[in-house]
Amino acid sequence: MKIGVIGIGEMGGTLARRWCEKGHTVRVANSRGPSAVTPFADAIGAEAADVYGAVGGSDVVLLAMAFPVAATLPRDLFSQARDDLVIVDTSNYYPDMHDARISEIDDGMPESVWTSRQLGRPIFKAFNSIMFYALSELGKPEGSSNRLAIPVAAIILGKIRRYEPRNRHGI
Ligand SMILES: NC(=O)c1ccc[n+]([C@@H]2O[C@H](COP(=O)([O-])OP(=O)(O)OC[C@H]3O[C@@H](n4cnc5c(N)ncnc54)[C@H](OP(=O)(O)O)[C@@H]3O)[C@@H](O)[C@H]2O)c1
């Protein structure tokens, strides 16, 4: 699978590394252009890109940045992307901690709806309820007992489907 990863900090960097290990074709980007991500890309076997390069031709794009950053991405970032591109967003809104307040969300708009409106595309909200180290350290092979699971929320074919977490810890 061709996967673009935008944001290569704790979440994006961890998932990019894991997906490279699994044999996917991964392109990674941050806000500072391909040269800034080349050392990391070389270290994990990914390709360095800018944000457009991470989107173009990808089957899946992972957004792994602070929540408000979606509003600052180029407006045309997804205009040439395939119609069935899956955009996965890891972000969580942390008002008064490290994110400025966003009035629409404070007034009740779901975070994923706000992000979708910034991008002009629907998103899958996933990986936002698990810490990055669990993704790199706590995975178990298929068939093992007590494997981790994550909730995924998305609007698919116009219908809202809810994926219930297995227990109150969301795993
Ligand atoms: N860390 C976790 O365990 C965890 C768990 C669940 C959910 N989350 C959520 O996942 C999101 C990412 O968290 P994180 O801990 O991975 O953050 P992080 O370590 O701070 O990494 C953020 C990444 O986003 C990049 N970035 C910032 N602005 C950008 C832009 N305009 N265009 C492209 N890239 C940009 C940064 O690179 P540059 O600034 O150099 O461009 C950096 O690579 C957050 O919303 C967080 O709440 C995190």
**Which residue segment(s) compose the domain that 40 sits in?**
2-169
CATH of the domain at 10: 3.40.50.720
Count of domains forming the chain? 1
- Among 96, 89, 138, 135, which Cα is nearest to 114's? 89
Q: What angle do CA 155, 160, 166 make, to 5 degrees?
A: 100
Distance 142 CA to ligand 1 centre (A): 29
Ligand 1 atom 7: residue of nearest CA? 128
Whole-prediction pTM value? 0.92
pLDDT of residue 162: 53
Compute CA distances 8 → 18, 66, 79, 82, 132, whole Å.
12, 11, 23, 23, 12
Pocket perturbation via mutation, ligand 1, pick of 10, 14, 124 by most ligand atoms within 8 A of CB: 10
The 10s digit of each residue's pLDDT in 34-43 is 999 999 999 9
**Whether the CB of 37 sits within 6 Å of ligand 1:** no
